[in-house]
Amino acid sequence: MAILLRMPEVAANATHATLQAWTRQEGDKIAVGDCIAEIETDKAIVELNADTAGTLGRMLVRAGQEVEVGAPIGVLLVNGETHADIDALLAASGGIAVPESQPLAQEPAVPVAPLASEPATAPARIFASPLARRLAAQRGLDLATLAGSGPNGRIVRRDVEAARAEALTATPAATPIATPAPAAARPAPVRNAGTDDFIEIPHSNMRRTIARRLAESKSTIPHFYLSVDCRMDRLLALRAEINAGAARKISVNDFVVRAVAVALREVPEANVAWTDTAMRQFRSADIAVAVSTDTGLITPIVRAADSKPLSVISAEIAELAARARAGQLRPDEYQGGSFSVSNLGMHGVAEFSAIINPPEAAILAVGVTQPMPVVRDGQVEVAQVMRCTLSVDHRAIDGALAAKWLAAFRRLLENPLAMLV
Q: DSSP labels for 89-131? A: HHHHHT--PPPTTS--SSSPPPP-SSTTSPPPPPPPPP-B-HH
Would 257 be classed as within a structural domain? Answer: yes
Chain mean position to CA 231: 32
- Report the range of poorest mean pLDDT among 139-143, 179-183, 286-290, 359-363: 179-183
Let me know whether 280 and 135 are in one domain: no
**Distances from the Cα of 331 to the Cα of 2, 9, 13, 45, 62, angstroms:** 29, 11, 12, 9, 24
Would 201 be classed as within a structural domain? Answer: no
Let me know whether 161 and 292 are in one domain: no
Would 411 be classed as within a structural domain? Answer: yes
Let me know whether 140 and 246 are in one domain: no
Q: Which amino acid is at 292?
A: S
Rounded to 5°, the CA angle 44-153-137 comes to 60
For residues 125 and 36, what is the distance between their CA atoms, to the nearest angstrom? 11
For residues 148 and 305, what is the distance between their CA atoms, to the nearest angstrom? 31
Rounded to 5°, the CA angle 19-31-74 comes to 35
Q: Which amino acid is at 382?
A: V
pLDDT band at 171 (very low <50, low <70, confident <90, very high): very low
Let me know whether 379 and 270 are in one domain: yes
- Entry pTM: 0.63
Predicted confidence at residue 143, as pLDDT, reads 84
- The CATH number linked to 232 is 3.30.559.10
Would 218 be classed as within a structural domain? Answer: no
Cβ contacts of 211 within 8 Å, gap of 6 or more? 203
Would 175 be classed as within a structural domain? Answer: no
Would 53 be classed as within a structural domain? Answer: yes
pLDDT greater than 50 at residue 100: no
Would 199 be classed as within a structural domain? Answer: no
Mean pLDDT, to the nearest integer, of 120-126?
Answer: 57
Would 118 be classed as within a structural domain? Answer: no
**Distances from the Cα of 209 to the Cα of 46, 80, 115, 204, 363, angstroms:** 17, 41, 41, 9, 19
pLDDT greater than 70 at residue 49: yes
Q: Which of 151, 146, 97, 104 is nearest to 126 (CA)?
A: 146
Chain mean position to CA 263: 26
Cβ proximity of 21 and 340 under 8 Å: no
- The CATH number linked to 79 is 2.40.50.100
pLDDT greater than 70 at residue 168: no
Predicted confidence at residue 415, as pLDDT, reads 96
Let me know whether 158 and 13 are in one domain: no
Kind of pairing, strands 339-343 and 287-289? parallel
Total domains, the chain: 3
Let me know whether 64 and 137 are in one domain: no
pLDDT band at 10 (very low <50, low <70, confident <90, very high): confident
Share of the chain above pLDDT 90, in %: 44
Rounded to 5°, the CA angle 85-90-91 comes to 95
CA terminus-to-terminus distance, the chain: 60
pLDDT greater than 90 at residue 103: no
Q: Summarize pLDDT for 269-280 with one digit per residue, the tens.
A: 999 999 999 999
Let me know whether 135 and 12 are in one domain: no
pLDDT greater than 90 at residue 186: no
**Distances from the Cα of 115 to the Cα of 40, 111, 135, angstroms:** 30, 9, 36
Domain containing 265 equals: 223-420
Question: Sign of the C-alpha dihedral, residues 308, 302, 365, 327?
Answer: positive
Coarse DSSP helix, strand, coil percentages of the chain, rounded to the nearest 5 percent = 30, 25, 40
Predicted confidence at residue 182, as pLDDT, reads 33
Count of beta carbons in the 10 Å neighbourhood of residue 335: 15
pLDDT greater than 50 at residue 166: yes
Predicted confidence at residue 13, as pLDDT, reads 65
Q: Which of 348, 418, 356, 359 is nearest to 390 (CA)?
A: 356
For residues 79 and 86, what is the distance between their CA atoms, to the nearest angstrom? 12
- Phi, psi angle pair for 308, to nearest 5°: -110, 145
**Of residues 16, 83, 223, 394, which has the active-site annotation?**
394
Let me know whether 227 and 164 are in one domain: no
Predicted confidence at residue 91, as pLDDT, reads 79
Q: Summarize pLDDT for 373-416 with one digit per residue, the tens.
A: 998 888 999 999 999 999 999 999 999 999 999 999 999 999 99
For residues 361 and 244, what is the distance between their CA atoms, to the nearest angstrom? 37
Question: Sign of the C-alpha dihedral, residues 206, 208, 210, 213?
Answer: negative
Among this protein's residues, is 394 annotated catalytic? yes
Annotate 77-93 with DSSP letters as a single string.
ESS---HHHHHHHHHHH
Write out the H or E segment, with its range, that includes residue 166: helix 157-170
Let me know whether 136 and 276 are in one domain: no
The residue among 71, 93, 115 that closes a domain is 93
Let me know whether 56 and 143 are in one domain: no
Strands (E), 232-323: 272-274, 279-281, 287-289, 291-293, 296-298, 301-302
The better pLDDT of the pair 210, 277 is held by 277
Cβ proximity of 229 and 385 under 8 Å: yes
Let me know whether 143 and 76 are in one domain: no
Let me know whether 355 and 409 are in one domain: yes
